[in-house]
Amino acid sequence: MPAFLLPIFGIILGLIIGSFLATLILRWPEGRSVIAGRSSCDACGRQLRAWELIPVVSFVIQAGKCRQCGTMIATDHMAIEIAAALIGGLALFAAPGFDGLAGAIFGWLLLTLAALDVKHHWLPDGLTMILAGSGLMAGLLFDFPTLQDRLIGGIAGFAALAMIAALYKSIRKRDGLGGGDPKMLGAIGCWLGWQALPLVLLGASLIGILVALSWRLRGKSVTVDSMLPLGSLMAIAAFPLWLYQTAGAGLAY
Ligand SMILES: [Zn+2]
């Protein structure tokens, strides 16, 4: 495949994978089966046909609305699909090859974790383990970041946040971080290497502040509890850092 076609391939692959991820994200927390479960309109319960679940098609034919009650069908579903398509396109644009494909997988895993954390304050251990494991595996396949930097990143990321969480708890007598957050930063470290960890935390803080500001501007009250969970903020910060790192490494060759 010619290199210029790869980002387009990434977008199409992203749409397909995003459709599966959206189903997983929207159903897993409810304990419903991803494969076997049949989809229905969340508002009126009408069973949806297979083609109605393909956002692009359903959008063209019925403006994304349920035929029975007119409710927009799973806009979350569509948002996740579009995000997954963007991730696939950007990753293969930044690195047209297998390293780009690896980066897309990193992005899709981050997207899944971020969405579950935003919606359910839940970072499933199994998924953070896959994120960490695939990061170390990428370290075996690609030269940069080195496997050693990734391993240190995994340990340092976990240890740093676990220590902060313990410190916070001993001072404030309550949990300040989610239990999955240290594992999440460790898993991100397995992809980006330890050198990127301060930037992940800085990026997460900046995104958190921006989100809080935009909520204030729209008149929503912002409390500690209403903040986006840290895991999702770290995930949102990590993918652009991968893009930056990869584009930078490409320039250095
Ligand atoms: Zn309906």
The mean pLDDT value for 202-220 works out to 90
pLDDT at position 36 is 45
Q: How confident is the model at residue 131 (pLDDT cuts 50, 70, 90)?
A: very high
pLDDT 10s digits, 87-129 = 999 999 999 999 999 999 999 999 999 999 988 888 999 999 9
Ligand 1 centroid to 83 CA: how many Å? 25
- Among the listed ranges 58-62, 146-150, 206-210, 241-245, which one has the minimum average pLDDT value? 58-62
Domain coordinates in residue numbering, the chain: 3-39+74-252
Ligand 1 centroid to 84 CA: how many Å? 26
The mean pLDDT value for 191-210 works out to 96
The mean pLDDT value for 6-19 works out to 93
Ligand 1 centroid to 14 CA: how many Å? 27
- State yes or no: pLDDT of 63 exceeds 90: no
The mean pLDDT value for 158-183 works out to 90
Q: Could you tell me which residues come within 8 angstroms of residue 199 by beta carbon, excluding any fewer than 6 positions away?
A: 237, 241
